Amino acid sequence: MPPRLFDLSSTWHLPVPPEKVWAIIADINMSWPSWWPHCSFAGPLVRTKPESNSQEHILKATTAHLNFKASLGYTLTISIHPTDVTAPREIDFNAGGHLDGTGRVVLTPEKLGEATRMDIEWRVRPTQRWMNLLTPIAAPVFTAAHALMMRQGEKGLVKALAKQATANA
């Protein structure tokens, strides 16, 4: 039996225009660990030679290896490699490591462009044996842990956006 596919989605509502959100989430130095609680680098960024010096090409030439510590005490190490980047609106990526699959982040303007809706989709399968063994009974718990981690990320991003606004004022 193949590992179960988890179809996970989150929607974040952010109080700034998409361009300001994009500046943080699509940072070529992958600053997520600086604002996302319980997220850290598992290793240095891996970057091949980009086609050009554009942000899109640099992102597509970059793989980040990140640790996410779940509220249940386990840590998932996930590689994120952007495969398609449309600034300042969408990033598609491949995921590897403890979760294998794909993901997408889409930014949509709200409130006449003064706010942003950020939709995040993951279609992943666990690669760790223990997770696959527990999935038949623990899938709801894994899904809840994911939702909590995503809420923590949203709160961290809101704080980073406020800090950015203060620094630019």
> In this structure, what CATH number is given to the domain that contains residue 107?
3.30.530.20
The domain total for the chain is: 1
The total number of residues shown for the chain amounts to: 169
- 29 or 169: whose pLDDT is higher? 29
Confidence band, pLDDT 50/70/90 cuts, at residue 1: low
pLDDT at 169 > cutoff 80: no
Instruction: Please report the pLDDT score of residue 72 as a whole number.
Output: 87
The per-residue pLDDT of the chain, averaged, comes to 95
CA neighbor of 17 nearest in space, from 164, 167, 169:
164
CA neighbor of 165 nearest in space, from 21, 31, 25:
21
At 127 the three-state DSSP class reads: coil
pLDDT at 109 > cutoff 70: yes
**Which amino acid is residue 58, in one-letter code?**
I
Once rounded to an integer, what is the mean pLDDT over residues 104-123?
96
pLDDT in tens, 12-38: 999 999 999 999 999 999 999 999 999
Residue 37: inside a domain, yes or no? yes
CA distance 147 to 157: 15
CA distance 31 to 86: 19
Residue 1: inside a domain, yes or no? no
Share of the chain above pLDDT 90, in %: 93
pLDDT in tens, 144-165: 999 999 999 999 999 999 998 7
Residue 93: inside a domain, yes or no? yes
pLDDT at 54 > cutoff 80: yes
Range of the domain at 11: 6-168
Residue 68: inside a domain, yes or no? yes
Residue 155: inside a domain, yes or no? yes
pLDDT at 168 > cutoff 80: no
SS3 labels along 52-105: CCCHHHHHHCEEEEEEEECCCCCEEEEEEEEEEEECCCEEEEEEEECEEEEEEE
| Residue carrying structure tokens 């590992």 | 3
Q: Are 24 and 123 in contact (CB under 8 A)?
A: no
At 138 the three-state DSSP class reads: helix
Instruction: Please report the pLDDT score of residue 166 as a whole number.
Output: 82
Instruction: Please report the pLDDT score of residue 164 as a whole number.
Output: 85
Residue 99: inside a domain, yes or no? yes
- 2 or 85: whose pLDDT is higher? 85
CA distance 52 to 128: 36
Residue 77: inside a domain, yes or no? yes
CA neighbor of 96 nearest in space, from 82, 86, 116:
82
